[in-house]
Amino acid sequence: MKPASMSDYRERARRRLPPMFFEYIDGGSYAEETLRRNVRDLEAIALRQRVMRDMSKVDLSTTLFGQTLSMPLALAPVGMAGMYAARGEVQAARAAAGAGVPFCLSTVGVCSIEEVAAAGTPPWFQLYMLKDRGYMRDLITRAKDAGCPVLVFTVDLPIPGARYRDVRSGFTGLSGLPAAINTLWQGATHPAWSWDLFTQGRPHTLGSVQAAVQGGGRVNDFLAWIARNFDRSVTWKDLDFVREIWDGPIVIKGVLDPDDARDAVRAGAQGLVVSNHGGRQLDGVSSSIAALPRIADAVGGDLEILMDGGIRSGLDVLKALSLGARACLVGRPWAWALGAGGEAMVSRMLGVMRSELTTAMILTGCTTAARANADMLDVAAPQNL
């Protein structure tokens, strides 16, 4: 059976990946309420069907930070993607380039900035603020030297939210012999994944944070490493430090509150991502789609507003555009597709998103994605926002 919708990619990834990686991708924090809200609140929005409007031409393209995107979508930063398929970040970056959309490389990627950039189009680079400012300076300089056009500064992870699925799967919390046995067992019982990674990959330390990292963090040390090295003292002033080194566009990722959005504008950011980290941080906060209109009201026009969390179809993309986003990011959909079958599956997944968005635009009478607005929504229908 060929994968059609995002849930098919998820199911394939579930079968192919060792549970510790599948659960890491799939899960959220604590009771996963926000993770569910992200999806449910998007589902609850009603589109407004329009007919007989000559929709022979629709334009999905948009522009962001001087770049032209073939559709208003980008691949969100996802940590450790090189563990879902061999050289995973490179494979996903190639698929994104082929589809004409940006790929954003995580600070905690497996493939280095240079490797991903050398494989094709330089990626957007996502930054976590680590305590070691010398290391930060090097990292930002490397992103600049590699030609990364946009820096995405993630601000909603001063401390990792507890993800209970990772404890249960042994992804976190184990060390020494039990960790080794768990990893070996999960690898042995998922031979297609093991064959792919161990015949085509390189040693699986966190190469990018390159690793992490001073100390060459192995997978099981990952969360402990985050807890030790991420900087909780960060404030808007630290953006000045980043600005000293980086002169391109800066996008603040992880904003849910209009006051924070105004601060991002005051701090000189060129964009922000309305995001709750895919429901992986503070459980119980509102969905990203519910936060979006308030933020668009507060700062729309002052900077570019992106949104992520729960986007599972091109129809969802149109809903977010209609409520004020310039473009959306997807996290799990591409991570599932990568785990399901590498670059080819990520390309296919992007093709599905494109065709769903095209259909949604045609049936709502939206000819130009860059001009989608609240007219595309059926405001008379019950909305859950």
Q: Residue positions in the annotated binding site for FMN?
A: 77-79, 106, 126, 154, 253, 275, 308-312, 331-332
Map residue 54 onto helix, strand or coil. coil
Q: Which residue in the list 16, 87, 277, 354 is annotated as catalytic?
A: 277
Q: What is the DSSP string of 134-198?
A: HHHHHHHHHHHHTT---EEEE-S-SSPPP-HHHHHHTSSS--HHHHHHHHHHHHHT-HHHHHHHH
304-308/271-274 β-pairing: parallel
Of residues 229, 235, 77, 242, the one with CA closest to residue 160: 229
**Segment 281-340, which members bind ligand FNR (CB under 6 A)?**
308-311, 330-332, 335
Task: Report how far residue 17's alpha carbon sits from residue 296's, in angstroms, rounded to the nearest whole number.
Answer: 38
Tell me if 208 contacts ligand FNR by CB under 6 A: no
Residue 53: CB atoms within 10 A of its CB come to 11
Q: Which of 3, 19, 72, 79 binds ligand FNR (CB under 6 A)?
A: 79
- Half-sphere exposure of 65 toward its Cβ, with a 13 Å CA cutoff? 22
Which of 48-56, 74-82, 313-321, 367-375 is the region at the interface with ligand FNR (rule: CB under 6 A)?
Answer: 74-82
- Closest distance to ligand FNR from the beta carbon of 35 (Å): 7
Of residues 296 and 320, the one with the C-beta less far from ligand FNR: 320
- Is position 277 annotated as part of the catalytic site? yes
Q: Which of 24, 125, 222, 225 binds ligand FNR (CB under 6 A)?
A: 24
Of residues 278 and 293, the one with the C-beta less far from ligand FNR: 278
What residues form the annotated binding site? 24, 77-79, 106, 126, 128, 154, 163, 253, 275, 277, 280, 308-312, 331-332
Burial class (CB in 10 A: 0-12, 13-18, 19+), 245: middle
> What residue number has its CB nearest to ligand FNR?
331
- Closest distance to ligand FNR from the beta carbon of 367 (Å): 27
The crossing angle, in degrees rounded to 10, of helices 19-26 and 176-188 is: 90
Residues near ligand FNR (CB under 6 A) are 24-25, 38, 76-79, 106, 108, 126, 154, 253, 275, 277-278, 280, 308-311, 330-332, 335
Give catalytic residue positions.
Answer: 277
